[in-house]
Amino acid sequence: MKADVLVVGAGPAGLAAAVELRRLGAGSVVVADRDDEAGGIPRHSAHTGFGARDLRRVMTGPGYARHYADAAAAAGADVRVGTTVTGWDGLPGADGLHRATLTSAAGVDAVGATAVLLATGCRERPRTARLVPGDRPPGVMTTGELQRRVYLGGQKLPGRALVVGAEHVSFSAMVTLAHAGAEVVALVTDRPRHTSYAAFALAASWRWHVPVWSSTVVRRVSGRGRLDGAELADLATGETRFVPCDLLVFTGDWIPDHELARAAGVDMDPGTRGPVVDTALATSVPGVFAAGNLVHAAETADIAALGGRHAARGIAAFLGSGAGRGARRPAPEPVRLRVTAEAPLLWIAPNAVRAGGPAPPRGRFVLRSDIFARLARLEVWQDGRRLATGVSLGMKPDRPARLGASWTGKADPGGGPVTVRLA
């Protein structure tokens, strides 16, 4: 089977891209997702707040997921759920096609696509990846597992619960636990304070009477057969205490689902731990693009969806160039400048600039920092030359900072990499 575009991932980024690709005239768009339903993470995020930036209205997570799943189907995209990409060549063949193997309950199908969009999203690192020692009883999970069990499985989870983390999703986990009948003891973070909105912490304290224990880490998990609790340590004093609990939920600490990107041999960014993408969201492999939380883990669903739309426009331009279609003179590969971030900045996305290319999604770059700063001055440098200066208000860990893209036209295509730093 042949397709113009294969989209891997039917979350907001992948579905929004499929809709936009069809609107832009892509003949055949196949969307593959290993989950049983399209829509991604919002399907089991029952709270409201989805869709403000991309749809200009506020919806619940399940409603938002249904909107994009229905829109993709109505646009004529071939959305295949319960379908896993079990193999692909990465580099295009002599005919310009990327070949992938799709496996589902219906069997195995081979797809040859002119372009591929990786929209595989991200996940929270589990307790084992965070190297938290101790016993391995049931009752220890991530927010994703919690929300699936509660909102998709309808489970009740009575008992005392401890949430590890104090970012946006941590407060969402707190609400989910309360909905499931749990008593949330506290949110625990190694940061000096929470990194979410002040209103969230205020609501947690007033509505649910849940405190945030800052500068605190989980030293050990205890329980044989069932979870007994966790040993916590105060980073300021070194004092330890044991907190009994029946549920322990690890939140945040995102990592992109980058296995297919690595299999394709695309350049990877050590900061984001996702593929290097330029301002068109193209990777280093011709015809392979990436969008959503695969390239910036983790932004909100509407930002991921807008990134998917942006990638669709880059893919449409790639298809229009004749690349992969046996064109006698395919467009030459664009010049790309790497963009890196210096500590205490953790990463920047997109992390490459295409000479003469489009602006990044929403006309700005996204950064993450490891510090709290009320007023931060950002500078952009190349080969000892300052290209731009910007100001970021209220920089916090786990929260996005923005950098405008007006400087990209000043970068020398023949020069060295571009660096973004704090002044």
* pLDDT digit string, tens, across residues 348-358: 999 999 988 99
Give the whole-number percent of the chain exceeding pLDDT 70.
97
Q: Which of 306, 415, 360 is nearest to 351 (CA)?
A: 360
Domains 1-124+254-327 and 126-252 share a fold: yes
Give the whole-number percent of the chain exceeding pLDDT 90.
88
Q: Is the pLDDT of residue 110 over 70?
A: yes
In sequence order, which ranges of 6-142 are alpha helices (DSSP H)? Answer: 12-23, 61-75
pTM beyond 0.85: yes
User: What is the distance between the alpha carbons of residues 262 and 265, in angstroms, rounded to a whole number?
Assistant: 5
Q: How confident is the model at residue 139 (pLDDT cuts 50, 70, 90)?
A: very high
pLDDT value at position 90? Answer: 85
Between the alpha carbon of residue 286 and those of residues 91, 281, 293, the distances in Å are: 8, 11, 21
Domain boundary assignment for the chain: 1-124+254-327, 126-252, 336-423
User: What is the distance between the alpha carbons of residues 167 and 50, in angstroms, rounded to a whole number?
Assistant: 17
Q: Is the pLDDT of residue 273 over 80?
A: yes
Q: Which CATH number fits domain 126-252: 3.40.309.10, 3.40.50.300, 3.90.1300.10, 3.50.50.60?
A: 3.50.50.60
β-partners of residue 401 are 367
Q: How confident is the model at residue 197 (pLDDT cuts 50, 70, 90)?
A: confident
- Range in 54-68, 193-207, 213-227 with the lowest mean pLDDT: 193-207
Please provide the average confidence, as pLDDT, over all residues in the chain. Answer: 94
Number of helical H runs and strand E runs in the chain: 7, 27
User: What is the distance between the alpha carbons of residues 292 and 308, in angstroms, rounded to a whole number?
Assistant: 6
CATH fold for domain 1-124+254-327: FAD/NAD(P)-binding domain (3.50.50)
How confident is the model over 320-364, as pLDDT tens digits?
986 555 443 455 667 899 999 999 999 999 999 998 899 999 999
Q: Is the pLDDT of residue 81 over 50?
A: yes
Helix axes 12-23, 301-320, angle to 10 degrees: 40
User: What is the distance between the alpha carbons of residues 93 and 8, in angstroms, rounded to a whole number?
Assistant: 19
Question: The tokens of 270 are what?
Answer: 């050590």
pLDDT value at position 329? Answer: 44
Question: The tokens of 258 are what?
Answer: 């980058």
pLDDT value at position 326? Answer: 47
Q: How would you classify the pairing of strands 336-341 and 418-422?
A: parallel
44 in Cβ contact with 152 (< 8 Å): yes
Q: Is the pLDDT of residue 207 over 80?
A: yes
E strand spans, 176-280 = 182-188, 212-213, 216-222, 229-234, 240-244, 247-250, 254-256
pLDDT value at position 182? Answer: 98
419 in Cβ contact with 380 (< 8 Å): yes
Q: Is the pLDDT of residue 239 over 70?
A: yes
